[in-house]
A and B are shown apart, each in its own frame.
Chain A
């Protein structure tokens, strides 16, 4: 169990003036699973490589249990990184691939064999030790890569886009496997992903990095309920943004006044709400209720997506198909905004 502290970590690549990673600071609790989330090129993998010692930092520090690891060689840090494309050594069979880390530590051949067999059971690939990597499916290769990392019992496990090369059904299986193994072994794990759903499902905490800067570091649900700004809200699928100003627990905008939670910021801001949190009714309720016109209705199977206009504002709502079965495009309906589902972000 290792507590990881990343302090003002910055990376400027030679020949560049803009930092690829700019003053990243996060505290990662022992035994937790943390996601570094962001689009391609935002600095996630750069961060991982600096933690692993595969890339030198321009400034900043990384500590494990309050001891800086930046002067340690990669092989002495106790960090193992699993790469996106598995990178199994193609000329070694599964046994030798998984046992590689132990061989580098001069572990006895018999013991390596024994531990590899145990590890194969753990990642649900029994009796595949003689297979060559090219004889394995993508999902099996990913499991072998994971087993190869876990067998050396690292202090910190780094997973670079662990699910991105897998088919949808394998992704679900692998997700569960990673989560179960991480929890049973208690290894502090950091994984990189560009998929917000993956981050939310797997991680205890998520660090959203955009353009090399940390936007928000919080528990997954906070990104939906209380995004720090519009870019963060949009990254997590936010679609509704209304300009206005908040004062005394009310948000005033061109489309009306809305009661908002007390903890919301004061002054000029942007009101946001999730499309799935809006309630539809045929009559006006007493609180946070406005009339809206349906301008588009798309049936998505388990839900219906409505595009509504409230004066000049366009908002998106996701409704239960039964709820809006008899409504058509052009019809006016009432929508209610539960105060707890509203959030105000700085402009």
Chain B
């Protein structure tokens, strides 16, 4: 048996799962998005579901909201993660404790975090009650609308809380492997602290930041559970909208749900492509 066959056989279990579940699901979804569902008598593929999606005002509002959530969460998380990594790479008393605390929420599931946000930041949550107790507001209901709000503040808060350590750990490892010599060279060549960061350290850690933030963007753009728990009812994030269509009692709405899911995947890929192109040019240019 050749080495190549051996490798293929060893990889077969993992590959078959990927091929059957991922590509199989994708293919089935694609067929349904073209209105091909023989089970309910739709046997003529067409673009009706896509036309319906692109004609819907709700879809565009949802897209804007979803983009806002993914973009804002990614940018804020990346900036704060870089800042945290810059602090954590220094030596200080209690560094290991702070490092542990910084990473601890990596182990907390998104859902648990979302419930925490709900308990803390909703208008019936702990902060609202404390604010009312301390006389800062008359009633808890006067607390600013941070959850179920049109600007998705609660959702962004949850994502930022969860993703800072994710990006931060990658960036910190990157910075530690680089050491400080490159910045030292820049400083001795006349760069001030900011210039050494902007022109030397940032481009050096950029591949790590980019990879991590692309993962965060793709995840936050396509995630369902957090917008479902913390988001406003209207407009809803795209995955929530797609799920609603999918679970509609009318089976005929499913092609539209699938078309929406395919559009989410394509938009996500296109935005990541342009994000990579723009940021690479901007940072290293």
A residues bordering B, Cβ < 8 Å? 14, 49, 52-54, 73-75, 79-81, 83, 85, 87, 89-91, 100-101, 103-105, 148-149, 152, 158
8 Å CB contact of B188 from A54, A89, A91 = A54
- Nearest-Cβ distance from residue A171 to partner chain B, whole angstroms: 22
User: Is the pair B192, A101 in contact by a Cβ cutoff of 8 Å?
Assistant: no
Asked if B189 contacts A101 (CB within 8 A), the reply is yes
Closest approach, in angstroms, between the C-beta of A229 and any C-beta of chain B?
A: 34
The verdict on B257 contacting chain A, using a C-beta distance below 8 Å, is no
Is there an interface contact between A101 and B190, defined as CB atoms closer than 8 Å?
Answer: yes
Q: Mark interface residues in B164-190 (1 if CB within 8 Å of A CB, else 0).
A: 000000000000000001101111111
Contact B189 A149 (CB under 8 A): yes
Q: Does B160 contact A (CB under 8 A)?
A: no
Q: Interface stretch among B13-21, B119-127, B197-205?
A: B197-205
Partner of A14, one of B91, B185, B203: B91
Which of chain B's residues 53-105 have a Cβ closer than 8 Å to chain A? Answer: 91
**Interfacial chain A residues near B52, Cβ < 8 Å:** none
B186 and A100 within 8 A (CB): yes
Given contacts A53-B188, A83-B185, A104-B186, 15 further A-B contacts (CB under 8 A): A49-B184, A52-B187, A52-B188, A74-B187, A81-B184, A87-B185, A89-B182, A89-B200, A90-B204, A91-B203, A100-B199, A101-B189, A104-B191, A104-B192, A152-B190
Alpha-carbon distance A257/B218, docked complex (angstroms): 87
Nearest-neighbor residue (CB-CB) of B191 within chain A = A104
Bound complex: CA A197 to CA B192 (Å): 37
Q: Roughly how many angstroms separate A89 CA and B203 CA in the complex, as a whole number?
A: 9
With the chains together, A149 CA to B185 CA distance in Å?
Answer: 9
Q: Are A148 and B188 in contact (CB under 8 A)?
A: no
Choose among A104, A149, A152 the residue with the greatest number of B CB atoms under 10 Å from its CB. Answer: A104
B247 on the interface (CB 8 Å rule)?
no
Tell me the nearest residue of chain A to B189, going by C-beta. A101
Chain B residues contacting A53 (CB-CB under 8 Å) are 187-188
Chain B residues whose CB sits within 8 angstroms of the CB of A54 once the complex forms: 184, 187-188
Which residues of chain B are near A14, meaning CB under 8 Å? 91
| CB nearest neighbor in A for B207 | A91
Residues of B within 8 A of A79 (CB): 188
* CA of A338 to CA of B186, assembled, Å: 54
Q: Are B204 and A91 in contact (CB under 8 A)?
A: yes
Closest CB pairs A-B (n = 10):
A101-B189, A74-B187, A104-B190, A81-B188, A104-B191, A54-B184, A75-B190, A87-B185, A101-B190, A80-B188
A81 surroundings in chain B (CB, below 8 A) = 184-185, 188
Query: Across the interface, which residues of A come within 8 angstroms of B185, CB to CB?
Result: 81, 83, 87, 89
Q: Does B139 interact with chain A (Cβ within 8 Å)?
A: no
A144: shortest Cβ distance to chain B, in Å? 12
The winner among A100, A103, A105 for most chain B CB atoms within 10 A is A100
